[in-house]
Copies of this chain bind each other. A is one copy, B any other.
Amino acid sequence: MSQDSEKQGLRIGICGHGTVGGGTFNLLRSKASEIKRRVGMDLEVVHVATRRPSAELKASGVHYSTDVFEVARNPEVDLVVELIGGFEPALELVLYAIENGKHVVTANKALIAVHGNTIFEAARKKGVVVAYESAVAGGIPIIKALREGLAANSIQWLAGIINGTSNFILTEMGERKRDFPEVLKEAQELGYAEADPTFDVEGIDAAHKLTILAANAFGIALEFDRVYTEGISHITTADISYAEELGYRIKHLGITRVTDAGVELRVHPTLISENTLIANVHGVMNAVVVKGDSAGSTLYYGAGAGAEATASSVVADIIDIARTWRESRTQATIPPLAFNKLRNDLRILDISEIESEYYLRIPARDKVGVMAKISQVLTNYGINIEAVIQKEPHGDDAERGIVPVVILTSRTSENTMDVAIGVIEGLDEVGGSIMRIRVEQFDGEDN
């Protein structure tokens, strides 16, 4: 298409002018000429909805109002950027924008994970694009890699550090040997964790992102309700030290894998070998490893949050849409969840149905024969012991006569492990509940 026949430019309305909204506004304006050099047209912000207009916005001459729905029905707007977050009124806003024939770009992971199926169906009927690269892993173009770059692959599994707050806390706990509550407080002071940290440290945010990744990896519907979610607040510095001694790091991972039985969909702390690249992703950074049958393992690393990194992906989505919009096409070139037809033959597995190796920290009473008893129970359930650490007790444990026995087990089903743990906890030789952390061997993640 020659430049003569180009449309004037894509007109953008931005709903929300907070951290990411303001960042997107600034990026679109500061990069206007470079973006035009890429796309061959102007991307112009024509309307912003916010209750707190910044000085920059006021000075910009761009029209602004308080009502987000005004943006979604503005006939001068071709594309609506939803950056208000949460479910209400974000869902209503996005559906209203679609109904009015607007393309939509959103960074709202919760919205897509929970209501994406509804949103994409509405978009399909109306012939508009809903893009959400920024909803997962901030500035890392992981949705594009999954949907397009790896399109020739059957994805076998993926695993990701997809919540920077949790990774920051685990990194600090490991490096400074400081406990969870103390590090959480520091993360809150640094602005890495919210006043209510539940979403991050209990894995809900990661579960939203994993839901979206799994749908794109396997071409299945979004099934947020089926994600097994376990946080990091119960991890101790002792666990991190024992893991290190065994050659592992503890990372809070989102893992999804397709097996003959169905799809695993789980977020939990995980021991991974210190020799893998993903074990060496520190602080607030994110990374996702994807195992495809042709490409093998590929890894994508970068900033998972922050105004600029998120705005980078929001604007990349806008540019993608602008490129197809120019051609006056009425439908997305690339289906929203990677496949034109989603599979409905894959069942999401319950956590009890998965298989894993396990790290167990058992509070054993300091008695003769305790190790023999524990070994016997594991053997009875067909579980092998791959490694053991047993040390002199100290501190509180010593006073209570408790020796922590740390065991790495062979692969077994979660169900079997649940039963075995119950039996071991019932032994006279065991003085409390057992800490269990899953262990993953990402074959081929690094060579």
Give chain A's interface residues, CB within 8 Å of chain B. Answer: 1, 27, 31, 34-35, 37-40, 133, 138-141, 144-145, 148-154, 219, 277, 280-285, 287, 292-303, 306, 308-309, 311-316, 319-320, 323-324, 327, 329-331, 333-335, 338-341, 446-447
Contact = CB atoms under 8 A, between A and B. Distances in A.
Contacts of A282: 446-447
A289 to B, nearest CB: 9
A151 B285 contact: no
A38 B1 contact: no
Contacts of A296: 139, 302-303, 306, 308-309
A378 B219 CA distance: 61
Contact of A295 (B303, B330, B446, B447): B303
Please list the 9 inter-chain residue pairs (A to B) with the smallest Cβ-Cβ separation, ordered nearest first: A141-B149, A139-B295, A152-B315, A298-B302, A294-B312, A299-B301, A295-B312, A283-B447, A40-B340
B333 A323 contact: yes
Given A35-B152, A145-B141, A447-B285, A297 B308 contact: no
27 contacts: A31-B152, A37-B339, A38-B151, A38-B338, A38-B340, A140-B295, A141-B144, A141-B148, A141-B149, A141-B150, A144-B144, A145-B145, A149-B316, A152-B313, A152-B314, A152-B315, A153-B312, A277-B301, A284-B447, A295-B303, A295-B308, A296-B303, A296-B306, A299-B301, A300-B300, A324-B333, A327-B333
B151 A315 contact: yes
A302 B302 contact: no
A151 B40 CA distance: 13
A40 B334 CA distance: 10
B294 A339 contact: no
A148 B152 contact: no
Contacts of A31: 152, 154
Contacts of A153: 312
B319 A152 contact: yes
